[in-house]
Amino acid sequence: MLIFAGLGNPGSRYARNRHNIGFLAVEAIARACRAAPWRVRFQGHASEASIGAEKVLLLKPQTYMNESGRAIGEAARFYKVAPEDVIVFHDELDLAPAKLRVKLGGGNAGHNGLRSTTAAIGNDYRRVRFGIGHPGDKTLVHPYVLSDFGKAEEPWVEDLCTACADNAELLAAHDDAGFQNKVHLFMEARGHGAVKRLGEKSES
């Protein structure tokens, strides 16, 4: 069993916020994999799907971002899932829009959802980081992440979520490099050339 957990805030007012791209990605995976209907479990909305050879719990914590770890920790304990089998999808200020990185462990970079998850299950879980860019001023970060994606951003957001869903089997097989490279090629073909291959030198 694997856990694919998207980070975000519950409710319609947050649905298209930059901070909710983790929810958007997990929802896209659920649709592509024809997952079971969402139901209330583990202080969140949960669904199950077979992705490749693996059974996967798809999870959207409903605890608000700052307490995401409560839901993820509860699900991980219930299924006895090791941290390396938990994949967390989240927004990343330190990556340019449309970029994607996959990493195991590492710092939380001030992300409260990651901080909460680390407190619940330790730091050795996998992260799929979606670049949303930085507003340029620290004081603007809070309103920026809690604002909706702009109309000009919607195409790459949709394409990035689609690419993740189409290649989720690679994530389930622990082929993080293959997953990231496939997403890179898809985004490049769609005209979003910002995403680099795993292992390429980058600013973060």
Is 184 one of the catalytic residues?
Answer: no
- Catalytic entry in 19, 111, 184, 192: 19
Pairing of strands 86-92, 126-131: parallel
132: Cβ contacts below 8 Å, ≥ 6 apart = 18, 21, 91, 92, 93, 95, 97, 145
Tell me if residue 160 falls in helix, strand or coil. helix
Quick check: 125 and 87 in contact, CB under 8 A?
yes
What is the distance between the alpha carbons of residues 140 and 43, in angstroms, rounded to a whole number?
A: 30
CA-to-CA dists, residue 172 to 11, 119, 134, angstroms: 28, 24, 30
- Angle between helix axes 154-166 and 21-32 (nearest 10 degrees) is 50
The residues annotated as belonging to the active site are 19
